[in-house]
Amino acid sequence: MTIHKEGNRSIAISVLLFCAINLLSFYCFSFKTPMLSWIIFIATLGLLLFVISFFRIPNRILTEGEDAIIAPADGTVVAIEEVQADEYFTDRRLQLSIFMSPLNVHVNRNPVSGNVTYNQYHPGKYLVAWHPKSSTENERHSVAYNNNGREILVKQIAGAVAKRIVNYLQVGQKVQQGKEMGFIKFGSRVDLLLPLDVKIQVKIGDKPQGGVTVLAKW
């Protein structure tokens, strides 16, 4: 397991706060109320470990397949439904949504290999990620991939807690399935807009692993 580069600043700040709070606690409480000092230490250590674990990149054997659309994120499948596309596409599409809790791995990966044909950041609201309008009204970053003439759109969507979306791709870039496309800090949601004729391989409630689980096949 390694730590993602997006966590360097957050972890450094957390370590400084952990040290400052516990030094202050030691001088103020350790002699008169040592139990309180221990409670503060354990609580702040738990928070520090949580922040570090949030930016973890576990060692995984990534899935590759020309006929497969791989999960771009860890989380829980919360929606599989036909929708009218509101961005890039003009036809009806199959929307598959993955909710990412703060406990999930938050690296986002390319679901397919191919060329990036669209890349657009949208400012917006911070509705909770499971809100029906979060896909269209929240802050988000949308990327379209062309895989041998077959196109899909992936939306990185901010939520009530997530306040920063990072995306590493550019229009015209050739990308490889499973490689990093971005990162969402502190939980949210990823939507995929797929052609209606794909064969879905998961169901609502499933917990896919980013870069590993096959969501659909062409």
Asked whether residue 62 is assigned to any structural domain, the reply reads no
At residue 45, the pLDDT reads 93
Residue range 39-50, pLDDT digits in tens = 888 999 999 998
Same domain, 47 and 118: no
Same domain, 13 and 87: no
- Rounded to the nearest angstrom, the gap between the alpha carbon of residue 46 and the centroid of all alpha carbons in its chain is 22
DSSP state of 15: H
Q: What is the pTM of this model?
A: 0.84
What average pLDDT does the segment 186-195 reach? Answer: 87
Single-letter amino acid, residue 204: I
Of 127-141, 160-174, 197-211, the range with the lowest mean pLDDT is 127-141
Counting the structural domains of the chain, the total is 2
Q: Of 11, 35, 57, which marks where a domain is finished?
A: 57
* Separation of first and last alpha carbons in the chain: 32
Task: Please compute, for residue 113, the number of CA atoms within 13 A of its CA located in the half-sphere on the CB side.
Answer: 9
- Whether 129 and 100 have beta carbons less than 8 Å apart is answered as yes
Does the pLDDT value for residue 133 go beyond 80? no
Same domain, 52 and 79: no
Residue range 191-212, pLDDT digits in tens = 999 999 999 999 999 999 999 9
Active-site residue among 14, 97, 135, 188?
Answer: 188
Same domain, 52 and 72: no
Residue 124's nearest CA partner among 133, 115, 116 is 133
Does the pLDDT value for residue 164 go beyond 80? no
Single-letter amino acid, residue 193: L
Q: Is 97 a catalytic residue?
A: no
Single-letter amino acid, residue 84: Q
Same domain, 37 and 74: no
Residue 15: domain span: 2-57
Asked whether residue 63 is assigned to any structural domain, the reply reads no
- Whether 44 and 22 have beta carbons less than 8 Å apart is answered as yes
Burial annotation 120-154 (CB, 10 A radius, 16+ → b, else e): eebeeebbebeeeebbbebbbbbbbbebeeebbbb
Same domain, 87 and 121: yes
Same domain, 88 and 51: no
Token pair recorded at residue 114: 């191919």
DSSP-H helix ranges across the chain = 8-29, 34-54, 134-137
Report how far residue 7's alpha carbon sits from residue 21's, in angstroms, rounded to the nearest whole number: 21
Q: Which residue has the higher pLDDT, 31 or 197?
A: 197
Does the pLDDT value for residue 116 go beyond 70? yes
Categorize the per-residue pLDDT at 16 as very low, low, confident or very high, splitting at 50, 70 and 90: very high
Token pair recorded at residue 63: 């899935």
Q: Of 11, 31, 57, which marks where a domain is finished?
A: 57
Same domain, 50 and 72: no
Same domain, 51 and 92: no
Token pair recorded at residue 142: 């949308």
